[in-house]
Amino acid sequence: MEVTNLSDSGSGSLRACLEASGPRTCVFRVSGLITGKSRMQISNPYITIAGQTAPGGGIVIGGPTQQGEQIFISTHDVVIRYLTYDGNNPTTATGPDGGTVGFELASGNIYNVVLDHLSGRWWGNKPFLALSNDAGNVHDITYQWIMCYEPNAGHPVGPMADATSGSARNSTNIDWHHSFFANTGHRLPLVDIGSMRWVNNIVFNWDYYAALTFGGAKMDYIGNKYVPGNLNSGNGNHEFDSDPNNNDPSDQSDNCIGGNPCDNPGPPSLYLVNNLGPHNSSVTTSPNDSGQQNMTQQGWEGGDRGGDIPSSWFRSSPQQASTFPIQADSVSDLDNVMLNTVGNSQHLDCGGNFVANRDSQDARVIAQYQANGPGNFFTGQFNAPSIPAGSACSESEHDGIPDQWKQANGLSTTDSTLYKQTAPNGYTYLENYLNGTSPK
């Protein structure tokens, strides 16, 4: 399905593709800002949003007149790639019960979701939220190569995986890897679910605490890099806090108050290896060694509250690998591995090559990190960059595959079924173009 305009709804809109049913791929013939004036919800499964196909400066969602969650996922088998979320709506109050939200997973049995190479900035509530509730659980989710920075100063929090009226225990395998966070206060991440893997992420310039788990969360922290900046200068809080009191109604985390579930009692189960930060500067291959334990503390939403993590809370081996396991890189090499391509940093040219396409605000924050320069939360001090229109590739069949790519691979430019045919490498021709791979 082609996205041919930037309208909120109607034929050729992004919403029309999101709200359609049946297996579908959203490809873009335009670039620019798409503003959801109400929640844009994906209720039907088997969808790929291929932002990398947009010409020019690519696709930004949100903006100053946005209303509701910009993309709300309540189904399974969803892939979203190469979009930017601009959370700045100056007329919407910020805070945990309001404010702008970029990508939310909630209100359904949600699984097999991949969010890849997305950028999020200037949100008023949350950029990425996975929330199990009475409609179903969120499980088996991958966030990868995400770039997040500068939430609104009124609620400067990062990504969150939580449960309200649903089951925290059964919300499992919500994983983050190779992602970059900057100038964000805390909740990097916040985890109140059954299990998560947090692998090869760079966290720069947070505030009074970084990561926090509640209750019996099973966490793998592998090869992450926490780099302090001006916001946490002199801050003694540890990188990884854990609050075991999920089954305590007086717990200040509110986990067992009101409708929130109490089915994931503590203590947590922690596996740490090769993490670097203010409390540990040594690369290691020994899980839970003294350097890794130095990065941990018992704590809550207010940060450390005293008490080392008991040895019984540490696990000697990682969680069982998923079907497609996360391949960890050396923490010492993360800058080289990640910085050129993290976030909405590229798009496809007509020949099927990924080419650099990072906007000026993402580039500014990467440069700040590289220089270890000062940064802060969003207070309206930055403006959204212009988005070059560009020109869509020539496609005789309007099937998401440029004629140039077909010709280069010796394929027909007039076969209307080519896009869904299986190539010699086992993937469809459309999938090969979208992934920048050779069909041979």
Closest CA to 208 of 225, 181, 188: 188
Domains of the chain with CATH codes: 2-338 (2.160.20.10)
- Count CB neighbours of 7 within 10 A: 15
The β-bridge partners of 180 are 147, 202
Give me the sign of the Cα torsion angle 243, 246, 250, 253.
positive
The β-bridge partners of 184 are none
Query: Tens of pLDDT along 132-167?
Result: 988 999 999 999 999 999 999 999 999 999 988 888
pLDDT at 140 (0 to 100): 97
- The residues of the chain scoring below 50 in pLDDT are none
Q: How far is CA 406 from CA 38, 48, 255, 400, 430, in A?
A: 38, 21, 54, 11, 10
Residue 374 identity: P
Instruction: Enter the pTM of the model.
Output: 0.96
Q: 375 CB contacts (<8 Å, ≥6 apart)?
A: 149, 150, 182, 183, 205, 229, 230, 231, 365, 368
* DSSP H or E stretch at residue 354: strand 354-356
| C-alpha to C-alpha distance for 157 and 95, rounded to whole angstroms | 10
- The CA-based angle 91-81-56, given to 5 degrees, is 75
Q: How far is CA 22 from CA 41, 60, 181, in A?
A: 15, 25, 35
Query: Tens of pLDDT along 159-178?
Result: 999 988 888 889 999 999 99
CB 159 within 8 A of CB 129: yes
* DSSP H or E stretch at residue 433: helix 429-434
Closest CA to 175 of 319, 383, 39, 15: 319
The first and second tokens of residue 96, run together, are 């945990």
Characterize the bridge pairing of strands 354-356 and 346-348: antiparallel
pLDDT at 305 (0 to 100): 86
Residue identified by tokens 């791929």 is: 25
pLDDT at 252 (0 to 100): 52
pLDDT at 236 (0 to 100): 87
Q: 425 CB contacts (<8 Å, ≥6 apart)?
A: 432, 437, 438, 439, 440
pLDDT at 244 (0 to 100): 85
Residue 367 identity: A
Q: How far is CA 29 from CA 79, 88, 114, 351, in A?
A: 19, 25, 23, 16
pLDDT at 221 (0 to 100): 98
